Every structure is written in C-alpha cells, then in structure tokens.
Structure 1
Amino acid sequence: MYLQQLSVINFKNYSEAELIFSEGVNAFTGNNGAGKTNLLDAIHYLSLCKSYFNPIDSQQIKTGTDLFVINGVFNKDGHKETIACGLKRNQKKQFKRNKKDYQRLADHIGLFPLVMISPYDISIIIEGSEERRKFIDNVISQTDNKYLDELITYNKVLTNRNALLKRIADTGRYDPELLSVFDEQLIASGNLIFEKRKAFMEAITPVFNKHYQFLSGDAEQVDLVYESQLLQGDFTDLLKKSTEKDRILERTTVGIHKDELQFAIHGMPMKKFGSQGQQKSFLIALKLAQYTYLYQQKGFKPLLLLDDIFDKLDDNRVTKLMQMVSNHDFGQVFITDTSAAKVEGIFDKINVGLKIFKIAGGEIDGQN
C-alpha cells in the first residue's frame, strides 16, 4: 500500500496544494514554520480521521476561511482507493471512501494503517501512564475495531461505577446489587482488553529490543515491561477484594485503567536517566516495533511518517535508522527536515533514492 497523491484546500497554512509521491522515500524540507509537518498531519487525517497534534478539527481550518478539504489517492495491490475528508465551521466532519460516506469513522480505522514518529512523542516517556496506555490502544485499534468498542464500553462502565461509589459515600446508602451489575460489565470488557494488550506487548517487545540494539550498536541495555494488576490475579477477585477500599476512596482502584508500561535503561527509569538521544532512540524503536506489528497483523506495509527525526540523534544513529527504514521491511516513508542538502547527503551515503518537496510559507517548490 502507498499514497499516490495528496491534495489540500484551506488546511492549516495551505490555501491549496497538490503532491504526487514516490512509492519509496519522500522528504518535505524547509524552514521551521513553513508547513512541512502540516503535510504529514494531512496524511494522518486520511489514515486515522484526525490530526496527530490537535484534537480540535475546526482549528485545522486556514485562518480567514470556512472549511478545509483533504483528498488522497491510495494504491492497494494495484487498486486505487480515494479518501476525502472535509469540515465546514460549526458542522460535522465528513469522511468518504470512494465517494461513499462512512456511517462510523471507526470503520475506517485500520484500512490504511500509519505510524507517525514525532518530537511530540516524548510525552509517552515523560508524561503519566495514560499516555502509554493511549499508545497501546491506538495501535491495537488499527488492527481490531472491536477493541475500540470494548474500550468505549469499559470507560463508560468505569464512569458509572465511580459515580455510584461517590453517591454511596454522599448518601450512606449502599447498593450492592447495582455495584455487582457494574462489576460484571467491567470484568467482561476489562478481561478482553487485558488479553489483547498482553498479546500485543508479547509480540512487540522482542522486536523493540532488536530495533533498539541496532540503532544503538548494542551500546545500551533497555527494558520495556508491561504492568497490569490483572497479571497478578483474576479481575473478579481483585474487584471483590478492593470493594471497601473503593468505597473509601470513591473510585475504582483496580482494572485495566491502571495498566502501565515501564521504560528503563541500564535498570534505571528512562525518564530520569536517559539522555535526549537515548530517549529518542527508545521512542523510535518503540514506534518501529509498532510498525512491524501492524505489518504482521494487516499483511501489508503501513505508511511511515518521520517528523524532524534527525534532531538529537548522532550521525551513526541517523545512518542506521535510514538504512533500517529504507530496506525491504518498510514501505513508503515520509520525512521532514529543515535542510534538503542534509537529507540528500544521508540518502546518497546509503545509496537510496528519494523525492524531495521544498516547502516555503505554505507553497511547494522544486518537486524532483
């Protein structure tokens, strides 16, 4: 699978643009603020129905205009698929595949899988456990739309159970029957989500280790560990044992909403003891493991988007990374960088061809 063509109208800083892509490596180069990352975000919209960077769709509309439109043409096994996304201010976002509207945007997720690596990903390391759970959930959702439905159900039941615990505390009236109903619903969805997460982590952990050791030249020992209360015991038993604690704290203290990923380097927390280059290498290895997982699950190669990827990496790791993503295990790649000469030099060094788009102020020049 690859993206042949992209066109945007009134999207972020672009009034209008149309690009024809190479099946291999495509690079957007230009000064900071020129609009390189905005093109990656437009591609992200086509795959996942939303911005990678900003959850508010209306804020993607170019200032002074009333709507944005993104169109893309994908090639899957020689067959063309057209995807269109549009939004008018104060109206519902429209999404079409081959000119047909979707009933649910969730039905589109996973048809055109994509992996984005961006400086914003540092939040996976430095922020709270919710960011790391979100990473897991976003990947699995691209391979299993039923997983997303279970996640929505779980969070809805969790909200209701927490509201009941608060009401019990406020009124002093204990309602064990209603609590039992919520427990059963929580257990049903929670167990399914847990099994999916556990299988996902078992699949990507060895791949992650292989990618990191390649990037670092076997220079560092890192660990990626999935932690879940459900690894320690049956969810039903855990909920029963935590009932009194939950009533005191007025919230549900056990379940998959407490799952965590631990990142370590030489046995110490990556967040505190990893350099910027080591943290970036860790994230890249994690995202490339995500790519491998999607490839194995879908049976075809996702798109790979690398935003400002060379910053904070030494020359050796940059070369190794580009060698890795340019080989037969990866498909179409999109890269952003401030220097066209730098990108050309890197790919000349590893003897890999690329197509460069030079961006300046929302205009695209010099397509080669």
Structure 2
Amino acid sequence: MTANKYKNLCIGVTGLNANDNPGPGVAVIRALKEGLGIGVKIIGLSYESLEPGIYMHYLVNKTYQVPYPTAGTESLIERICQIHEKEGLDMIIPNFDAELYNFIKIAPQLKKMGIHTLLPAIDQLLMRDKVNLAAFGRQKNFYVPADHQLTTEADLKAAAEELKFPLVIKGKFYGATVAYTFTAALNAFHQIGSAWGYPVIAQQYIKGTEINIAALGDGKGNNISIVPMRKLYITDKGKAWAGVTIEDPALIKLANSFAKATKWNGPYEMEIMRDGEDRLFILEINPRFPAWIYLAAAAGQNQPVSLVKMAMGEEIIPFNEYEAGKLFIRHSWDHVVDISEFQQFSARGEL
C-alpha cells in the first residue's frame, strides 16, 4: 500500500514530554508526519499539563488528558471511549513503559472499537522486565550484568558486597544512577524507590561503549527493522543527547537473536554495553520506541510508519539497509505559548 492510503488516519500518541529525559512521542509523531504526510491527524494523549508536545500544534492536532497508569484499565478505556467518540481514532501508539500493561490488557476492547494497536504480549513484556532480565539472559544465553533486587538497606549491603563498586541503581520503570560509594547508592535507592516503587535493582557496572538498538519485531521471530546507534553524549540521567548510526553485523545479529528468542511483537530498544573483550551486554530492553527514533527514520528505516502499516494488516518487507554515519544532536528550544492554553488544558483536560 502507498502512504496515500494512510494519509487521513487518526492516531493517538502518548509520551509528549520533551525535557532532559524525553519521551518518544514527539519523535514518533515527526516520523509519522514525514512518512504518511501532513494529512495524518495526531491526537496527543497526555498525563500532565506541562508536556511540551501538547502545545506543538504543528505536530499535534489536539490533545486529551488521560488517567495515570495507576488508575487502572477501567479508567483508561472509559477515557479513550470519550476521545474516540469525538475523534474517531484509528490507532494508538503508547510510548511509556509504565502504561503498556494497561494498553495490552485493553487491546481487545480497542480492536472491537476499530482502534488498532501493535503491542507485545504480557509474557513478552514481563520476560524483559528489569527484575527478570538477568534470568532471561541466563536462559537464552545472552550477556546480561548480574543484579540484585532491593527492598531494604540490608539488600543493598549484600548487593554491594557481591557486585562491588561502582554499581548501577535502577528503578522498575525509569531512573538509573551509577553509585561509587555506599552512601551514594543508599541515596539513589531511597530516591528511586520513592519515585517508582520497589523493588529497586542494583546492577553490576559494565565499563565500555554504550550502544542502543531500535528494532521492530513482527511477532513471529523476525525483525522488520534494526538500526544501531552509538551514544556520543550522555546526560547525567544516562540519556543520549547525541548519537550516530553505526554499521556492525554483531549488533544486527544480537537483535535478530532477541527477536527469535522472544517472538517480540512491536517496537523495542536494546541498551547495550560493549566491554573491553568485545562482549555485548544487554543492560535493558525497553518495550517501545526510544526517544531518538526519528534518527532511524532519517537513516532510511521509518519504524513508526512501518508499525502503523503492520497494525493495519499490511505485509511489510523487512528493511535490509540504512545509512550509517547519520548524527543526531538533541537541543533545547523555548516553545512559547499563551498561558490560556495551559489553563484550558489543566481545567478541561483537552486542548
């Protein structure tokens, strides 16, 4: 099918935050607009009033506030029904780890409403969860750093004795801090635990080169698209602020091995560390598009567009090449809007 057949689609997109720890939503929308045409209608689905994507009217046609994932599936489906009655949604692309469980649970209801999704199964989501990643690696013969699950300070002391310093303290969904002392580790444990809940994960620190892979699985053990990127500049939150696409058969092989082992359905990101012995350690598997996904589109593999076409039932021929040496540099931009727009969204939950 040509892009013209999709030009009038109405697509809901989450993840509209664009701060120093950006969500993927704005990048996903850029890729969709570029690949499907400006006629595609984008409905933002936002959790907070200060997510910048809400006010980017050149990308987002209208935005609705949706309940936090902790509110559960009933609240979510009720809100989506309200939005669907007004907008006629054709598809929803969730972009946050924490919301995926709810969207997977309501996917059958969405399908009956005519709203398409392309999401992993619950068991796929759980197998790559941070608390299960080390066991997954042992089972499937992937290199994964050793880790400990932490619920108490005693757990942290035991982890520090085994893993040694530095070690990485991670939240269940978000947040990662490299701690070089027990005091720093303890502070991170309490801070991340209070923000994202317990258990917190203490992970073995692997020194090396950080690489990310954006991929799109077909649910049958294959990848439709794979684009590796080497981080060039990393923020204090561990996020890539600049990166470049690279050509490396070992990375392609790793992503294909993951897809084969899991039969992953939909987008995912592999966070990799290549150590001094050229081993590829899987640090995380993020079950959605990364915030840098527009780079993949710019390099020749528009994964968000492929996702839409797959969700609509089109057979997609896997990409077999991309342009290495494509560089992205993230930047800050003061987006100025009238306070009345913020007040309207805060009061009415839509803009």
The structure, 1 or 2, with the larger RCO (C-alpha pairs under 8 Å, 6+ apart) is 1
Larger radius of gyration: 1
More helix by share: 1
